[in-house]
A and B are shown apart, each in its own frame.
Chain A
Amino acid sequence: MVRKKSASDMTLSIVAYAVLLFLAVIMIYPFWNLIIISFNDGIDSLKGGLTVWPRVFTFENYAYVFKDSRLVAAFRVTVFRTVIVTVGSTLVTSMFAFAVSRRNLRFRKTYMKVCTVTMYVSAGLIPNFLLMQSLHLVNTFWVFVFPALFNAYNMIIYRSFFDNLPEGLLEAAKIDGAGEYRTFFSVVLPVSKPVIATLALFTAVTEWNDWFKGAIYIKSPSLVPLPTLLRQIINTNAMSQLMAQMGGTASEKMSESNISTRSLSAATIIISTIPIIAVYPFLQKYFASGVMLGAVKG
């Protein structure tokens, strides 16, 4: 009886491990595939069949990316945008949340309602586009920044975190004669690290990955963010594949070097992904608890 039971449990464990290992391979392989192409000679990779290991190893693709002025400019735009929005949005959103978590704030119910309505009702793409036009934000760096400085969902999560802070903490600050700002910056923020780390990470990832604002609002090449440029490169790659397949002579080889659009797009993808992959395991311990908080309160 007991033996039989443990045998069935054993099977379950083995099945669970087997399935998860298979999933892990599926999750990792697409990254691996791009990594080997990015380290392979550009012309050689056009032959295809690069599945497990580079055939003709080279750093040339990366060297090319770091020299390409378009890519360097795009990288800079994305870094600035991500840093400014992450810091700004964390500050504006958490400050708002702190204020509405205080019971003595006048109109706090109104403020909450004004904010939550926007989570369910949105005007849609075109009215937003027309607004950016009339505010003259189109084709400026600030179109990335201002609309992203407040986030209603994050506000709700910050607020539920602040609501659960021990009453005594704020009382102590008050007795020490600290004003609201000092209480917020030197008492509340330091104890809110998990939730700040989580939401800042999510904001940063959203900004880092966004290609759409760059595609519809930006015209000058110097303001194009990395994902938007990356999309153009990938499209060129897809188009040239299509051309080549249709029997055209359009070659995927780029003029003067051993780089092809395929190897270039692989190297750019890897470079643009590394910062995220590098940062998030460090924040993971925070965000498991942070997300749970949002999920429970959700």
Chain B
Amino acid sequence: MSKQKIDKKAGIGTTGAGSKLKSQLALQTMVLPGLILILLFSYVPLSGIVVAFKDYNIYKGILASPWVGLKHFETFFKSRNFIEIMRNTLAISSLKLLFGFPAPIILAILLNEVRNIRNRRIFQTITYMPHFVSWVVVAGMLTTLLSVDGGTVNTILTKLKIVKDPVNFLSSPQYFWAILVSANVWKSTGFNAIIFMAAISGINPELYEAASLDGASRFKQIFVITLPSILTQIVIVLILNVSNILNAGFDDILLLTNNGDNSILMSVADVIDTYVYRIGIKAQRFSFATAAGLFKSVINILMLLFANAVSRKLGDVSLW
């Protein structure tokens, strides 16, 4: 019967109805493994969000645990930690935005000023490299470089007499944000520059020729040609960055605070995601942690919609 149906739909064609059906079946089996994985690992957990509104009990399971409404959200908003966590989250991600957003644009422009292709490629390869190493490795590097007893940074600072005694950078709350943001800029700038490099390479060379005939120096061309030509990419990256404002980081923070156990640092380092991890996985308060996580996800989606709407209004640029 289904064969007839498809036969009718297929209409004219060089191949027979049997092979149409066979091809449809083949395509459906190609979709199937992916579809099962999406449903199981992305949609089933979505239903698990209900534990945020329940008092989850491991022995009763999700369904039998009692409903408690918004109790966990109230506890979260009223807790002493809430203000501190929100401050850290917003401060860290704003700093990451402030330094991490312009850096790749500047790097792409600098790379574009290197006219020798071979040299440019070497610089590119070197600046991408940190993107490919694990945060674990970056944390290990920082521990080594910033070590109190003879790390390179302290060696240089004491030799130049900038500080008298070596500074214990990784246990001092006042340096934490600077170290975290610098490490992020170090790790991501090269790779994030790729999108801008691609956009710059698409600019019509005649524009530059015309500008230099008009007497514009290469420095001036950056501002009148290069930057305006890659504005779309700049706006898209900015939208994505702004909508990620509550994703202040996770791996980097956990790894630089000894898995969240460094209590000296937690007053400046604890953000929503690390809090969810500490309360949920380590302290096993599943319902409370899910509520805190859900709060973040909802704000994130609203931010994304908002940022996308603004940029659509202002510059005709949109993610979808």
Contacts and interface: CB of A to CB of B under 8 A. Distances in A.
Contacts of B31: 95-96, 99-100, 105, 111
Given A238-B258, A242-B171, A245-B149, A114 B110 contact: no
Contact of A227 (B30, B39, B136, B290): B136
B148 interface: yes
Interface residues of B, number: 96
Interface of B: 15, 20, 22-24, 26-28, 30-31, 33-35, 37-39, 41-49, 51, 56, 62, 107, 110-111, 113-115, 123, 125-130, 132-141, 143-145, 147-152, 154-156, 168, 170-171, 186, 190, 194-195, 198-199, 215, 217-219, 233, 236, 251, 255, 258-259, 273, 276-277, 280-281, 286, 289-290, 293-294, 296-297, 301, 304
Nearest to A27: B126
B98 to A, nearest CB: 19
B231 to A, nearest CB: 15
Contacts of A30: 138, 141, 144-145
A27 B130 contact: yes
A230 B137 contact: yes
Counting from the closest, the 7 A-B pairs by CB-CB distance are A48-B150, A127-B48, A209-B134, A96-B34, A123-B45, A124-B293, A180-B26
Contacts of A24: 123, 126-127
A9 B215 CA distance: 12
Contact of A179 (B26, B107, B114): B26
B42 A273 contact: no
Interface of A: 1, 5, 8-9, 12-13, 16-17, 19-20, 23-24, 26-31, 33-34, 37, 46-51, 92-93, 95-96, 98-100, 102, 104-106, 111, 114-115, 118, 120-131, 146-147, 149-150, 152, 155, 174, 179-181, 184, 205, 208-212, 215-216, 227-228, 230-231, 234-235, 237-239, 241-242, 244-245, 262, 265-266, 269, 272-273, 276-277, 280-281, 284, 288, 291-292, 295-296, 298
B192 to A, nearest CB: 11
A128 B255 CA distance: 21
Given A92-B33, A99-B27, A179 B22 contact: yes
A122 B30 contact: no
A9 B218 contact: yes
Contacts of A280: 128-129, 132
Contact of A269 (B107, B130, B140, B150): B140
A127 B297 contact: no
* Interface of chain A: mostly helix, strand, loop or mixed: helix
B140 to A, nearest CB: 4
B49 A245 contact: no
B30 A184 contact: yes
A48 B41 contact: no
B172 to A, nearest CB: 12
Contacts of A152: 38, 42
Contacts of B195: 291-292, 295
Determine which residue in A149, A208, A241 has the highest number of CB atoms from chain B within 10 A of its CB, and name it: A241
B144 A245 contact: no
Contacts of A291: 194-195, 198
Contacts of A180: 23, 26-27, 30
Contact of B280 (A100, A111, A126, A234): A126
